[in-house]
Amino acid sequence: MEVRELHGRPSSPAEAEAIQDRLRPMLELGVPGPVEPRTVAGLDVAYAGDGGGAGTRLAAAVVVLDGTSLEVVEESAAVGTAAFPYVPGLFAFRELPTLLDALRALKTVPDLLVCDGFGVAHPRRFGLACHLGVLTGLPTIGVGKTAFIGAYEEPGPRRGDASPLLDGGEVVGRVLRTRDGVKPVFVSVGHRTDLDTACRNVLDLTPEYRLPETTRRADRLSREALAG
């Protein structure tokens, strides 16, 4: 699939933040997202060792699932090195080059990308899901295991219960319970979708487990690629 080249690799945190600020106006937020996507891709990255520092070996995986059956349609993995030091809020720059290699190898163009991370639930409202959305032009959401920013009230105990994730009085995401009595996930939009649709998609992708099937299978593939 095609991915746009909109910037090079930043050499400093200041340059990386400037790239985020330059690309952020390209986001399409609040537009209706894919209600019944035919194909959904999950993206995840596995790191060697503790994952710290630039140059750490990593593997990026993309797994495309049928949106109805959740069966695997296509898989792609790439091995590389972390392209940027670990800096909170700039994590995308560590993973992007290898993730983009995996995406470019796909023959399928997914209707929706699901990132293990965040979209606008980010200090500069431009997390990994936003970045990938702008570069691919595809509807993209982030599903985090824990909150990166923001405050929230614990949602109800039942699957589908939710509460807003707030930062500075702004709704930046939603805390969503995907399994009865299990810790919630943190959903935020990245590009070309709305929060209601994003949460419906996440519930469709979690028929048995807390995390979306897209994330679970991409996580497994990334670890296998790193081990290989």
Instruction: Report the DSSP beta bridge partners of residue 43.
Output: 62, 115
Residue 181 burial (C-beta neighbours within 10 Å; 0-12, 13-18, 19+): exposed
**Rounded CA gap, 160 and 51, in Å?**
33
Task: Note every long-range contact of 13-21, with CB atoms under 8 Å and residues 24 or more positions apart, other chains counting.
Answer: 13/87, 13/90, 16/84, 16/87, 16/90, 16/93, 17/89, 17/90, 17/124, 20/90, 20/124, 20/126, 20/131, 21/124, 21/126
What are residue 93's phi and psi, to 5 degrees?
-70, -20
Q: What is the DSSP letter of 119?
A: S
CB neighbours (10 Å) of residue 225? Answer: 20
Is there a binding annotation on residue 116? Answer: yes
Strands ordered across the beta sheet of 72-81: 72-81, 57-66, 39-47, 112-115, 140-144, 185-191, 170-176, 162-167
Binding-site sequence positions for Mg(2+): 44, 116
Binding-site sequence positions: 44, 116
